[in-house]
Chain A
Amino acid sequence: MDILALFDLSVLDSTVRLATPLLLACLAGLFSERAGIFDIGLEGKMLFAAFFSAAIAALVTINAENAEQVAQAVADAVANNDQATAQSAAEGCSGTCRFFAGVSGWLPAVWIGVLAGVSASLFLSLVHGLASITFRGNQLISGVAINFLAAGMTVLIAQDWFQQGGRTPSLIGGGRFEPITLPFAETLSGVPFIGPIYAELISGHSILVYVALLAVPGTWWLLFRTRFGLRLRAVGENPAAVDTAGVSVVGLRFVAVGICGVLCGIAGAYLATGLQAGFVKDMTAGRGFIALAALIFAKWRPWHALWATLLFGYLQAIALRPDIIEGALGFKVQVQLLDALPYILTVVILAGFVGKAIPPRAGGEPYVKER
């Protein structure tokens, strides 16, 4: 039996990577729900963002490559003084090809992908805001609708654009995030204990992992140390208090929902361009709902959200290593059972087995001015 193997650096390393999309989505939900807008559409928004970030990043890389080849062909033809061939070769890259090739000049393809993903998620957020804030609709129904919309639209558009069975082409080169090696990682790796932890666990992730980790203190500071945070928390507890204080309830809630959209967008983009290399059907695999469970588990607090999502990330990571489990427990555990663990924990949390979690008091209720 080797219990320590359960905390092997490679397991912890993948814990961090797998926790990242959960953490971002959890913080996204935190902003929205702290402002009184329940959001079960985290899943759909992540999926939408994952697709659009992968699709746009793919289009940019493909077209940029194509443009280069065309330019080469044209140059060759011109060198041979063959005007006709040059003309027909130039037609190989026009319209959308030119557009994407042009865009690739400003930013690396992967960042363009992230921007596209964030915009897509933000768009869905605004739909949710319009339905639940402006038109005071039912927040759960709006969220469910967004999830269905995203599940269907992503596959449909993917098939139309790429004809690869509802997935995007695999992202190569500049189309996905490469791990970042933090300074001194090489030098320190020799130092016992601390060295490997720094070099393998802390260093060597893609930039979005660090963005997610920094978002935790950022969220805490914003919520509990700024005027915006005070108002945001107040609008989720008692919007009438905010309204009578002369602050716009609708405005605050839209900002919160917007922040939720941006964070969900980054989460989705990370899934498709950091964790994996491209979009596949339903690739979020319930992560939006796991993030919601983590949010309840964390009782809507940023630091707790970090611990909760790390726990879920760990469960997902360990499920990938049945060999370690077998070594630690001394018997073989069904892989299917391991895969199901995060979802089982989700159900347990949502059923209220982790003590009383009191949601923001005005959550889920559209604000109507009373007489």
Chain B
Amino acid sequence: MTAPAIELKGISKAFGPVQANKDISIRVMPGTIHGIIGENGAGKSTLMSILYGFYKADAGEVFISGNKTEIPDSQAAIAAGIGMVFQHFKLVENFTVLENIILGAEDGGLLKPSLSKARKTLLELEKEYDLKVDPDAVIEEIGVGMQQRVEILKALYRQANILILDEPTGVLTPAEADQLFRILGRLKEEGKTIILITHKLREIMEITDTVSVMRRGEMTATVKTAETSPEELAELMVGRKVLLRVDKAPATPGDVVLDVKNLKVVDEQGVERLRGIDLQVRAGEILGIAGVAGNGQSELLEVLGGYATGSGTITLNGAPIDLTGKNSDGRSRRARGIAHVPEDRQREGLIMDFAAWENTAFGYHRDAAYTSGLLSNNAAIKADTADKMERFDVRPPHPHLAAKNFSGGNQQKIVLAREIERNPDLLLIGQPTRGVDIGAIEFIHQQIVALRDQGKAILLVSVELEEILGLADRVAVMFDGQIMGERLTADTNEKELGLLMAGITDTDAPHTMAEIEANLAHAHGDASKEV
């Protein structure tokens, strides 16, 4: 019997009192794709960081191809044939593809020979694995899909036999993700071993051979993918039965609540971020805005939420809303009945160093219930916070704890409780479940649907297509600051929306990957100019 490509025995790692990894053992056979799935904070990334030499395990042993190996730093991991593709790419933005590939793996002190050697090797790798990149392109000017291929090539250039990918599809469109999976399949055929870390059950089912499930720092099960189901995996991850589909009745849309006409936003550099947006949201429906991150969704939320300016007309319940001037700020928006759960909860939704009760009052701190004369009525706010925490199942239910000490899901519940409980006419909600555990996702989705069923209008922005398809009644797809098309959720599918996300409106005709890539690179290029 062949030795496993990687074998971990009894790995433990604690950060202070938190046990991130508890006695973890795992065997990954060569030439297979092994999935590791678990909720945020389950310890997946810690485990892989130990394998890549970022952390030193408190206990346990690592065997590579049957040989006990010490991995004190990344250099040792690379030498042992391990390559890692991080969730956030580790690329130098203003370097070329070639420069990024040789960084740290140069031959000799001068660059020229290294670069020409890398150019040759790159051509060979490109042929062998069908990994197309332009060696002279500058990273900030190419799309995310190609950037990811550069990361994979970096690992292959260092002769990695074991490739670890951490949440690789988070930034990709469905078409790009499919292409990545084809590449991974090809790598597997060539005998490479692949570890795929993800929280997306669909990906696990689609391409892995075996899957290990982690929960709270422990490895709860390792099973053959063919012999399991998404439901079983979800239960193993969360520790209880989870409803994967959003349970909701068909929408019964009422009057138009939000009416946006020809909305334009120009950023500080003079780049048009929104190029004439028209949309309507009715009472009792959820409009989902799909799209690859950076195509104008954030700007749309910012203008509607009252912290960016634009031009065009917006009416709420038939009355116009000011886009500039003193009545265009967030406070005026709230007064008009617009609540906002921002995309980036840690920067826009909460003040991380402030206590939960203080965060609960933000934006509504002038409310009569929260004040007594000129002073704020802290006792009332705290009591209200404790009450909200109980109803929204925030754990731990301590109003005095700073926001940063809650998990992502519980932070989101704090924001959600604050905004929903104000009984708004319109709820703006961006990336509601980004970095949120499966268990909490279920709860948050239920709250959003409940609000819809009370006859509220909801504008949902998410880069997770699955979430949009599950939650929204109608979908509008944004690309390059424009709406490419609107569909009823019931009448569309991932493939069609994926093409719209790539800026292709003619969704019935066949399209090549190259065409999609070219379109996306254009949009990504625009997005990257922003920084």
Cross-chain contact A234 with B86 (CB below 8 angstroms): no
Q: Which residues of A contact B104 (CB under 8 A)?
A: 231, 242, 245-247
The answer to whether residues A241 and B103 also contact, given A234-B92, A371-B45 and a CB cut-off of 8 A, is yes
Cross-chain contact B46 with A244 (CB below 8 angstroms): no
Q: Which residues of B contact A240 (CB under 8 A)?
A: 88, 90
B interface, size bucket:
20 to 34
The answer to whether residues A246 and B74 also contact, given A225-B111, A234-B103, A369-B54 and a CB cut-off of 8 A, is yes
Q: Which residues of A contact B103 (CB under 8 A)?
A: 230-231, 234, 241-242, 245, 247
B54, B78, B103, B112 interface centre (most CB from chain A within 10 Å) = B103
Whether A170 sits at the interface, judged by CB under 8 Å, is no
| Distance to closest chain B CB from A112 (angstroms) | 32
Q: Which of B54, B91, B114 contacts A238 (CB 8 A)?
A: B91
Whether B105 sits at the interface, judged by CB under 8 Å, is yes
A228, A242, A369, A371 interface centre (most CB from chain B within 10 Å) = A371
Bound CA span A276–B91, Å: 47
Whether B93 sits at the interface, judged by CB under 8 Å, is yes
The answer to whether residues A238 and B93 also contact, given A225-B110, A227-B114, A245-B104 and a CB cut-off of 8 A, is yes
Q: Which of A226, A246, A371 contacts B110 (CB 8 A)?
A: A226
Please report which residues of chain B, range 92-127, place their CB below 8 angstroms from some CB of chain A when the two chains form the complex: 92-95, 99-100, 102-106, 108-112, 114
Cross-chain contact A237 with B92 (CB below 8 angstroms): yes
The answer to whether residues A227 and B106 also contact, given A237-B95, A241-B100, A246-B74 and a CB cut-off of 8 A, is yes
| Distance to closest chain A CB from B271 (angstroms) | 14
Cross-chain contact B78 with A246 (CB below 8 angstroms): yes
Whether A98 sits at the interface, judged by CB under 8 Å, is no
| Distance to closest chain A CB from B75 (angstroms) | 4
Bound CA span A175–B506, Å: 81
Cross-chain contact B84 with A237 (CB below 8 angstroms): no
The answer to whether residues A227 and B110 also contact, given A234-B103, A241-B100, A246-B74 and a CB cut-off of 8 A, is yes
Nearest residue, chain A, Cβ from B154: A245
Q: How many residues of A contact B (CB 8 A)?
A: 23
Bound CA span A236–B110, Å: 20
Contact with B along A217-255 (1 / 0, CB 8 A): 000000011111111011001101111111100000000
Cross-chain contact A244 with B86 (CB below 8 angstroms): yes
Q: Which residues of B contact A247 (CB under 8 A)?
A: 75, 103-104
Whether A361 sits at the interface, judged by CB under 8 Å, is yes
Q: Which residues of A contact B112 (CB under 8 A)?
A: 225
Cross-chain contact A241 with B106 (CB below 8 angstroms): no
Nearest residue, chain A, Cβ from B73: A246
Q: Which residues of B contact A238 (CB under 8 A)?
A: 90-93
Q: Which of B73, B93, B99 contacts A230 (CB 8 A)?
A: B99
Nearest residue, chain A, Cβ from B78: A246
B45, B46, B94 interface centre (most CB from chain A within 10 Å) = B94
Bound CA span A308–B55, Å: 45
Whether B519 sits at the interface, judged by CB under 8 Å, is no
Whether B332 sits at the interface, judged by CB under 8 Å, is no
Contact with A along B57-97 (1 / 0, CB 8 A): 00000000000000001110110000010101011111100
Q: Which of A224, A230, A237, A361 contacts B106 (CB 8 A)?
A: A230
The answer to whether residues A228 and B109 also contact, given A241-B91, A242-B104, A369-B54 and a CB cut-off of 8 A, is yes
The answer to whether residues A227 and B111 also contact, given A246-B75, A246-B104 and a CB cut-off of 8 A, is yes
Bound CA span A361–B103, Å: 17
Bound CA span A172–B209, Å: 82
Whether B49 sits at the interface, judged by CB under 8 Å, is yes
Q: Which residues of B contact A241 (CB under 8 A)?
A: 90-92, 100, 103
Nearest residue, chain A, Cβ from B104: A245
Bound CA span A273–B42, Å: 63
Bound CA span A225–B110, Å: 6
Contact with B along A123-162 (1 / 0, CB 8 A): 0000000000000000000000000000000000000000
Across the A-B interface, the 3 shortest Cβ-Cβ residue pairs: A245-B104, A246-B75, A241-B90
Q: Can you list 12 A-B pairs with a CB-CB distance of less than 8 A?
A: A227-B108, A229-B111, A230-B102, A231-B103, A234-B103, A238-B91, A240-B90, A242-B104, A244-B90, A246-B73, A361-B93, A371-B46
> Besides the contacts A225-B110, A234-B103, A242-B104, what 4 more A-B pairs have beta carbons closer than 8 Å?
A228-B109, A230-B102, A238-B91, A246-B78
Binding site for A on B (CB under 8 A): 45-46, 49, 52, 54, 73-75, 77-78, 84, 86, 88, 90-95, 99-100, 102-106, 108-112, 114, 154
